[in-house]
Amino acid sequence: MVGSTPPPALVRAGCPGVRAVPSVIIMTWLTTKATRAPWVLPVGALIAVFLVYSLPPYLTFDPALSRVPAGFWLHYPTLLLHITFGSVAMVGGFLQVWPWFRSAHPRLHAKVGRIYVFGGVLPAATMAFILGFTSPFGPITRASDMLGAVLWFTATLIGYRKARAKDFRAHRTWMVRSYVLTLSTITNRLWGPIVALVLAPGLDTTFGGSELAMGQAIAGITAWLGWTVPLVLLEWFGTRRRQVAR
Ligand code: HEM
């Protein structure tokens, strides 16, 4: 066996007698599973960067370090719960949409799926709705947050019910929508600096010198773009795919 690459199926099955060195396993994985879904590595890296950047201030349980000003007296605990359940949804959902994980561990897929729904999205979206309703970033952001939370909750619940009804095609479609909404919190943050750069020159003209008005406009546009653009792109690619497949 020395010098030859064992067939992936044998490596996966842990076949006795096949001594695959770690680099061979990694290369096999990279050239088969990962290339079949080339988005897995970049999306995984993006999620890791987001969590490493976003979570630390909240792990201190110090409200003074929160990036969101308190909107009401239970705001901070609600935000902490939202972030905890949101992180479960983000990581759990990643495992769910990863093709290799789904095919290699179908039973785990069902278990992680329940965690994604009941220990992730549904509580996180409920908290998001409350946070959105009381958001200090103004009415445009509030409307976006509340609608985004309702769509996130609803898409996930429909996806779950489709799985229970064994309609796996519809289950997949709705769960991809749900996960795109889960990840929209990342794209949301990518828009912020771009919108700020575009609007800042209009501080004295468009916003009459009001930093509050400009800040709320930036937050509002960012919030809306965060989830509408990924959803529109998803539906567009989905329709194109179905047309090509016909
Ligand atoms: C459609 C999905 C989501 C909606 C509608 C939503 C909504 C919200 C709202 C309303 C706030 C408070 C800020 C404000 O008042 O505008 C917030 C904050 C936050 N959310 Fe979400 N969220 C979603 C998904 C997630 C997910 C999946 C995570 C993953 C961890 C997450 C992490 C956070 C963090 C870290 C904050 C604090 C703000 C910061 O430190 O940058 N959110 N979210």
- Residue 28 pLDDT exceeds 90: no
What confidence score (pLDDT) does residue 212 get? 97
Q: What is the mean pLDDT of residues 188-213?
A: 96
The whole-number pLDDT of residue 16 equals 35
Q: Does ligand 1 come within 6 angstroms of the Cβ of 117?
A: no
The per-residue pLDDT for 37 is 79
CA of 170 to the centre of ligand 1 (A): 27
Which tokens hold the place of 16? 């006795």
What are the backbone angles phi and psi of residue 7, rounded to the nearest 5°?
-60, 140
**CA geometry: angle 243, 245, 246, nearest 5 deg:** 70
Domain extent listing, the chain: 1-36, 39-245
User: In this predicted structure, what is the pLDDT of residue 29?
Assistant: 52
Residue 104 has pLDDT above 60, yes or no: yes
203 Cα: distance to centroid of ligand 1 (angstroms): 27
Interval 42-53 mean pLDDT: 96
Which atom of ligand 1 is the closest one to the Cα of 219? 16
Mean pLDDT of 194-219: 97
3-state secondary structure 182-204: HHHHHHHHHHHHHHHHHHHHHCC
Kindly indicate the confidence band of residue 22, based on its pLDDT and cuts at 50, 70 and 90. low
Distance 238 CA to ligand 1 centre (A): 26
Q: Is the CB of 115 under 6 A from ligand 1?
A: no
**Nearest-CA neighbor of 148 among 132, 160, 164, 168?**
132
At 25 the pLDDT is: 54
- Atom 27 of ligand 1, residue of closest alpha carbon: 86
Average pLDDT over residues 160-167: 97
Q: What is the pLDDT of residue 71?
A: 78
User: In this predicted structure, what is the pLDDT of residue 241?
Assistant: 77
What's residue 6's pLDDT?
35
Q: Closest ligand 1 atom, CA of 181?
A: 1
- Is any ligand 1 atom within 6 A of the Cβ of residue 142? no
| Residue with more model confidence, 29 or 146 | 146
* Mean per-residue pLDDT, 188-196: 95
Average pLDDT score, the chain: 87
Residue 192 pLDDT more than 70? Answer: yes
**If you average pLDDT over residues 51-65, what whole number do you get?**
95
For the cut 80, the answer to whether the pLDDT of residue 154 exceeds it is yes
pLDDT in tens, 216-234: 999 999 999 999 999 999 9
Distance from the alpha carbon of residue 210 to the mean position of ligand 1, in angstroms: 26
Q: Is the CB of residue 149 below 6 angstroms from any atom belonging to ligand 1?
A: yes
Q: 204-221 b/e with 16+ CB inside 10 Å = b?
A: eeebeeeeeebebbbbbb
- The CA 83 to ligand 1 mean position distance, Å, reads 7
Q: Does the CB atom of residue 132 touch ligand 1 within 6 A?
A: yes
Q: Is the pLDDT of residue 7 over 50?
A: no
Residue nearest to atom 12 of ligand 1 (CA): 131
Please give the distance, rounded to the nearest whole angstrom, from the Cα atom of residue 129 to the centre of ligand 1: 10
| 172/29: higher pLDDT | 172
Among residues 39, 8, 21, the alpha carbon closest in space to that of 179 is found at: 39
